């Protein structure tokens, strides 16, 4: 289906990066640190302003550390690493396009995000030794269709360095595709409910009580909406 096609295209992008890494003899950690460093200074600036100067290194990496990493590459090695960084940013840009195209976010929110960051990469990872099947950001395909919350988060700053940045970029894109295609399917149902109002069967609302059994969350042009069923079993079947 569509999700498989999306993930197959992502795999092609990942393999191209892997080939470039092999050619340049770069490890995943080398690439992760480089793309982290390219984003660190701009993120530090945003967090510094957001906290009114209370947090200087909000990315978890200082400006000096970022400069040291970026300046450690010269000549051909620099060109090779920049080429890889460009391909990574193509995946990041595709993630943002997916958010908009599949209704998870609105264009205004993405435009505001892009105005802040030129070299954004996700820094949301937890410590490697704490990562489990439950906390991993890699999507498993998911059983249920319910979609809740914005996929873009407000950067709050961190005190420790993020890990596995390259893997996070790939995982975030895969998650956007899986989540987005589920949302796309729910939008079809949403339109059906809108075109066929029947309070005895279903209704649409902006808010519901926490963990409502008969409501299914959906993102419509970046806005949170809910389809509320009179029969809770209908909602339950979509959440499985």
Average pLDDT over residues 195-205: 95
Residue with tokens 């959440």: 239
**What's the pLDDT score for residue 147?**
61
User: pLDDT digit string (tens) for 137-159?
Assistant: 322 233 345 565 666 555 555 45
How many Å apart are CA 3 and CA 28, to the nearest integer? 26
**What's the pLDDT score for residue 239?**
80
**What's the pLDDT score for residue 149?**
64
Contact criterion met (CB below 8 Å) for 67 and 75: no
Average pLDDT over residues 228-235: 93
Phi, psi (degrees; rounded to nearest 5) at 144 = -80, 165
CB neighbours of 70 closer than 8 A, spacing ≥ 6? 34, 37, 38
Q: In the predicted model, is pLDDT for residue 51 greater than 50? A: yes
Residue with tokens 């200087």: 56
How many Å apart are CA 180 and CA 99, to the nearest integer? 7
Q: The whole model's pTM is what?
A: 0.84
Which of 108, 88, 92 has the alpha carbon at shortest distance from 100? 108
């Amino acid at each position: 289906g569509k999700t498989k096609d999306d993930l197959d295209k992502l795999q092609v992008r990942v393999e191209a990066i892997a080939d470039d890494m092999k050619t340049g003899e770069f490890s995943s950690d080398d690439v992760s640190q480089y793309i982290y460093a390219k984003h660190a200074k701009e993120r530090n600036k945003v967090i510094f302003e957001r906290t009114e100067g209370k947090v200087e290194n909000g990315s978890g990496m200082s400006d000096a550390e970022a400069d040291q990493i970026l300046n450690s590459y010269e000549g051909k090695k620099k060109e090779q690493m920049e080429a890889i960084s460009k391909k990574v940013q193509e995946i990041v840009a595709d993630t943002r396009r997916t958010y908009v195209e599949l209704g998870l976010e609105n264009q205004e929110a993405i435009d505001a995000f892009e105005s802040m960051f030129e070299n954004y990469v996700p820094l949301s990872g937890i410590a490697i030794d704490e990562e489990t099947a439950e906390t991993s950001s890699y999507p498993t395909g998911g059983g249920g269709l319910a979609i809740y919350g914005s996929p873009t988060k407000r950067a709050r700053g961190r005190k420790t360095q993020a890990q596995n940045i390259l893997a996070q970029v790939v995982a975030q894109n895969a998650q956007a595709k899986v989540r987005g295609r589920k949302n796309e399917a729910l939008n079809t149902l949403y339109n059906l409910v809108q075109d066929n109002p029947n309070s005895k069967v279903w209704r649409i609302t902006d808010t519901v009580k926490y963990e409502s059994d008969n409501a299914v969350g959906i993102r419509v042009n970046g806005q949170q909406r809910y389809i509320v069923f009179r029969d809770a079993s209908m909602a339950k079947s979509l959440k499985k």
